[in-house]
Structure 1
Amino acid sequence: MGINVLIVDDSAVVREILTQVLDAASDIKVLAAVPDPIFAMQRMKIQWPDVIVLDIEMPRMDGLTFLRRIMGERPTPVVICSSLTEQGADITMDAMSAGAVSIVTKPTLNLKTFLQGAGNDLVQEVRAAAAARMSSMRPFKTQHDRSMPGPKLTADAILEAPSGKTMFRTTDKLIAVGTSTGGTQALEFILPKLPTNCPAMVVVQHMPEQFTRAFAERLNRISEVEVLEAKDGARLMPGLVLIAPGGRHLLVKRSGAQYIAEVKDGPLVSRHRPSVDVLFRSVAISAGSNALGVIMTGMGDDGARGLREMHDAGARTLAQDEKTCVVFGMPKEAIAHGGVDEVVSLAQIGQTLAAQRS
């Protein structure tokens, strides 16, 4: 069975290119490409798609209104195709909270060249969306390679593997979280439950650059803890959550008795930048048994090796269970790698993190 896709975008050029890119994948079929949600609803009376690729700003009915209507009538995986603008980022965050699964970006210039180069991204996002468990989406989410996939690098490309179990133990605790598809909704569920005296937290959420700052700002508005997009050299403190910026890796270094954020460029690791594997490895090295590692909903295996390294360094490790994941890929791989102490629901993850004290 192939994946049937409906494209909704008011640009004829975008519709043409997206159709070409998706139809080129053997397991994907474009049912139709229509200019606005009104046409989309008419087409969906004939056949309901498995996945919708949706623009946000359109005439007659905007994408956000359409998305909310679809989620109320018949929840369907939606991939947002949005422009890299500050306003677009804010609206797209509303769409993610309303139930969209993931984001693919499009620039305002050189559109054809960009979308052709990002074809593999779009195909992978559509496949991930098709695998999403919509019953686990909570209405209130990567910087990928823009060319054909190259060799799949490990965290070795950024920093050396930990040499053994960390011997020191301090009172400074650290929480590290990795997530992807469905993660924006999961984080919106968890972070508002955290008290201001919880340990410092670092998060990799696979999301394109330009969107992570808007996502952090959104989380900050609904949470008691302070949520910021990570900056190089920032000190990790209790009550602070740092979100890895899209397009750059986030690491944790130890400086005396303090944890410091390191934001750096580098190759894709586990096909992602930021990479969960990179973050988790750095936490294994810098925090060891002082850390708590959590891997949540997402497609692929990013984070599986890093969580095992945290586990081997003495950290406690949790994986979200299949029932509450939108996509069980990342937790499943982490479990298979032997790095998970406990498999728990999203609600139990929230309870565990809320009970931590710095």
Structure 2
Amino acid sequence: MALRVVVVDDSGFFRRRIVEILNADIGIEVVGTAANGLEGIEVVKRLNPDVVTMDIEMPVMDGITAVRRIMAESPRPVLMFSTLTTEGARATLDALDAGAMDFLPKRFSEIAKDEDAAKVMLRRRVRALARTRHQALSRPAARERPSTHEPELTAPSARRAPVSATPLHSLRAVLIGTSTGGPVALQEVLKVLPKSFPLPIILVQHMPASFTPAFAERLNNLCQIEVREAVSGDVLKPGCALLAPGGQQLVLEGGAQTRVRIQENPPGTIYKPSVDITFQSAVTALKSQVLAVVLTGMGADGREGTRALQGQGAHVWAQDAASSVVFGMPAAVIDAGLADHVLALKDVGPALVKGFC
């Protein structure tokens, strides 16, 4: 049975283009369209699609308001289309806070260099989000409900090979990698941490270059710890989270002080920034004195970097399937037997506090 999609956009040209691209996949069917957010809400109620694609700026009702209404009245995965500007970044982050699960640039040339590759990526995102529809039903409530119990650290069924793990009190940094669903997940994790959190944190989130400054600013405003976009030469310091800039790579360099270096992408790099590249650089810079955390995301970025860290004795946590928007990146780590513990998203922040504060 084909996945059912509703497309909401005020541009007739863009609606037709998205419909054509999605309907070219035999497993996807666009069952309805709408020209503004208010109309989109009604179409979604009437047609009950698996996924909704949504523009942000529209007449009558904007996409952010429409997402908030859809998630309150008939929750389901929503994919936003955004302009890659500073204001577009802020609006997209607002849409993710409202309940949207993922976003793509509205200009296809900004999704991939090749138009056919961009079309494949759009179809892949829609398919991935359709698989998460059952999770959308509980997401808004889960975000607002604080954790009031001890964090549960569950050992995965596929245990990693025995390695002499470094004691928690000897760790020098926390590395967190994520993709689809990551902006909301990182907010939930980092808001729990006190200003006195004793370790530096490195954040790698798949995100365009124009989005990471606004995202770092948002996290900094929401959290007690300091959060900012990383620049070359930054020294890792306790209670400070550095976000890898979009479109480039963050690597760690050892020495008397561990520093950040921002570099261009190696040929053939898919993810910009890449969790694997950052994690693998930590093997030399920090060796085993790391906690690597892999959160929600599509694909397997982070698995090989985690494998290299785990081989040194680093600690590895992964988010569980039930709380992941897309159980791709954490599943890759768990299935490879690399995770020490599997946690629900609501338990990650409290577990960090319990382990290090």
Normalised TM-score (structure 1): 0.85
* AA at the equivalent of 1:134: A
User: Matches of 1:297 and 1:230 in 2, distance apart?
Assistant: 22
| Cross-structure match for 2:139 | 137
| Cross-structure match for 2:67 | 67
Spell out, residue by residue over 1:146-191, the C-alpha distance to the aligned partner (whole angstroms, 9 max, x if none): xxxxxxxxxxxxxxxxxx9999x99561100111122211111110
Which one is further off, 340-349 or 268-277? 268-277
CA contact (8 A) 2:55 2:63 kept: yes
CA positional deviation for 1:107: 4.2
Which one is further off, 9-18 or 42-51? 42-51
CA positional deviation for 1:51: 0.7
Spell out, residue by residue over 1:85-111, the C-alpha distance to the aligned partner (whole angstroms, 9 max, x if none): 211111111111111111101249999
| Cross-structure match for 2:316 | 317
User: Matches of 1:115 and 1:39 in 2, distance apart?
Assistant: 30
* AA at the equivalent of 1:137: R
| Cross-structure match for 1:152 | none
CA contact (8 A) 1:298 1:327 kept: yes
In structure 2, relative to structure 1, the CA distance for the partners of 1:304 and 1:114 (3 Å cut) is: closer
Unpaired runs of 5+ residues, structure 2, are 145-162
CA RMSD of aligned residues (A): 2.8
**1:35-184 equivalent positions in 2, closer than 5 A:** 35-107=35-107, 118-132=118-132, 133-135=135-137, 137-138=139-140, 139=143, 173-184=172-183
Count residues with an aligned counterpart: 332
In structure 2, relative to structure 1, the CA distance for the partners of 1:117 and 1:330 (3 Å cut) is: closer
Spell out, residue by residue over 1:278-325, the C-alpha distance to the aligned partner (whole angstroms, 9 max, x if none): 111112221122110001112221111211211111111111122222
CA contact (8 A) 1:268 1:275 kept: no
* AA at the equivalent of 2:352: L
Identity of aligned residues (%): 39
User: Matches of 1:166 and 1:338 in 2, distance apart?
Assistant: 15
Unpaired runs of 5+ residues, structure 1, are 141-163
In structure 2, relative to structure 1, the CA distance for the partners of 1:320 and 1:109 (3 Å cut) is: closer
| Cross-structure match for 1:245 | 245
CA positional deviation for 1:124: 2.2
SS in 2 for 1:175: strand
| Cross-structure match for 1:299 | 298
* AA at the equivalent of 1:118: A
CA positional deviation for 1:117: 5.8
Which one is further off, 37-46 or 311-320? 37-46
CA positional deviation for 1:192: 1.0
In structure 2, relative to structure 1, the CA distance for the partners of 1:108 and 1:130 (3 Å cut) is: closer
Normalised TM-score (structure 2): 0.85
